[in-house]
Structure 1
C-alpha cells in the first residue's frame, strides 16, 4: 500500500477525497506537477523492500523588481528592523504585496539586493573568487535566472550566486530610477553604506535603471549618493 502525505489544500485543488487519492495510483505520476508534495511508500511493489521518502517539487520562478516607493539611507527605521538589512527586507515584503501583487510567492519571500559590513555579504574577494562560501545571508541563488515582472530574464547567476557585471545584463533591471545597493563592480561591500543603512548622513552606493552595464548595480557617476535622498530598493525572490 502506498501512503500519500500531502496537505488538504492540495487535495481540495485536485477535487479528490483522500480515499480516492489513496486508491488511485495514477495520481502518483501527477504529483510531480505540484510543489511541496511528499510520497512515502512501504513495500508498494513486489520488489520493494525499503521505506523511502521522495520529495517532488517543481521549479520556482525567481523575480527581481525595483520598488516604486523610495527611501532615504536609514532603511532600519523605515522598515522597522533591528538592522538596516532587516529593515530593507521588510520594505521589500511590503512592496511585493502592495506594488507587485501579481508576482508569485508571498511578500516574505522577497528580500533586498543590498549589502552592508556583515549582515548581508555577496563576496569578500573579487567576484567571489573563493566561491559561494563567501555569501552571507545572500539573496541570489546559484545558477538561477531572474526575471523582471514582465517575464524578461535579466541575468543568470553562476555557481557563486552572482553574475559578472562586466558581462552586463540581458535587459535593464528597470526602465529608470536609482536604487541602493552598497556594492562595487566586483560584488564587494564598500565603506559608504549610510552607516549600514541606519543613517541619513553620509553616502551610499547605488545602481541605476535603463542600462545593461555595470552601472545597473554600481554607477560610477552617482555611486557616492547622499544618504538623505530617497531612492528605491531592488527586491528579489
Structure 2
C-alpha cells in the first residue's frame, strides 16, 4: 500500500511541476507557438504519468469479446488494434490486447500450463499473474489467474453471455495454453486452420481450445485490459 501511495504521489508531484513550468513560461511572455508546444508536452507527460501502469495496480482487469468479426491475416498487432477500436471496448479508455498466441510474437506457455518455467515462458502475454479478471461491466468476475499468468481452474463466470453472430473466438491455443500449430501461419493469412474457444464456456479447455476452423471463418476475439 505504501508503495502504491508513493507512486501516486510521484505522478501527482511530477504533473504539478510540469504545470508550474507551463504557467511560468506563459507568464514570462513566451510567444504563442512556444506556449502551445509547452502545453502539448505538459499534457502528454501528465497523462502518461497518471495512467502508465494500466490495470496493474487495480484490484482487477477487464476483458471483453469484440462485436465485429475478427480479421485474422493482420498479425498480432493487427488483432490488438481490432480490440482497441471495437464498439464493445469498455468505457474509460485503457489498452487491450487479444488473448491469442502464435508461437513467436505472443506466447502464453511453452510447456503445459507453464509448469516448467512459469511466467518466464511468456512472450508479450496478455494475462497478468495472480490477477482477478472481470467482464466489461467491471463487476462480474470471470476468474483469477495463477502465479503463471493463466487460468487453470474453471472460470467463475463465462467471459460473456452476449452473442453477436457466433459464440466462438480465435485463440491459437491448445487446451494447456501452449501454442497450437493452427494459427493461420502466425495470423498472416486467411488460408489454413486456426484453433478457437467459446465465450459461453467455463471449463478452461473449452474456453481456449474448443476446436479448429478455417482461417476464413467468422470468429470473434477476446480482448484483455493491460
Report the TM-score, using the length of structure 1 for normalisation. 0.68
Number of residues of Structure 1 aligned to a counterpart in Structure 2: 176
Change (3 A) 1:229 1:59: same
Correspondence 1:169-188 to 2 at 5 A: 169-175=155-161, 176=163, 177-188=167-178
Q: Which residue does 2:217 correspond to in 1?
A: 229
Q: Conserved in 2, the CA contact under 8 Å of 1:89 and 1:111?
A: yes
Larger radius of gyration: 1
1:143 aligns with 2:130: yes
| Displacement of 1:7 | 1.8
| Displacement of 1:99 | 2.6
Q: Which residue does 2:72 correspond to in 1?
A: 73
Higher relative helix content: 2
* Separation in 1, partners of 2:90, 2:136: 10
* Separation in 1, partners of 2:59, 2:78: 25
* Separation in 2, partners of 1:60, 1:36: 19
| Displacement of 1:36 | 5.0
Q: Secondary structure at the match of 1:85?
A: helix
Change (3 A) 1:101 1:64: closer
Question: Structure 1 regions of 5+ residues with no counterpart?
Answer: 12-34, 38-56, 77-83
Correspondence 1:1-237 to 2 at 5 A: 5-8=13-16, 59=58, 61-74=60-73, 76=74, 84-95=75-86, 98-102=87-91, 104-106=92-94, 109-129=95-115, 130-150=117-137, 151-164=139-152, 167-175=153-161, 176=163, 177-213=167-203, 214-219=205-210, 223-237=211-225
| Displacement of 1:188 | 0.3
Q: Secondary structure at the match of 2:148?
A: coil
Q: Conserved in 1, the CA contact under 8 Å of 2:59 and 2:131?
A: no
* Separation in 2, partners of 1:117, 1:209: 22
Q: Secondary structure at the match of 1:120?
A: coil
| Displacement of 1:149 | 1.3
Q: State the superposition RMSD in angstroms.
A: 2.6
| Displacement of 1:190 | 0.9
Q: Deviations over 1:27-81 (max 9, x none)?
A: xxxxxxxx957xxxxxxxxxxxxxxxxxxx952641000001112432x1xxxxx
Q: Deviations over 1:190-227 (max 9, x none)?
A: 111111111111110001122211211110xxx21111
* Separation in 1, partners of 2:60, 2:132: 8
Question: Structure 2 regions of 5+ residues with no counterpart?
Answer: 1-9, 20-47, 51-55
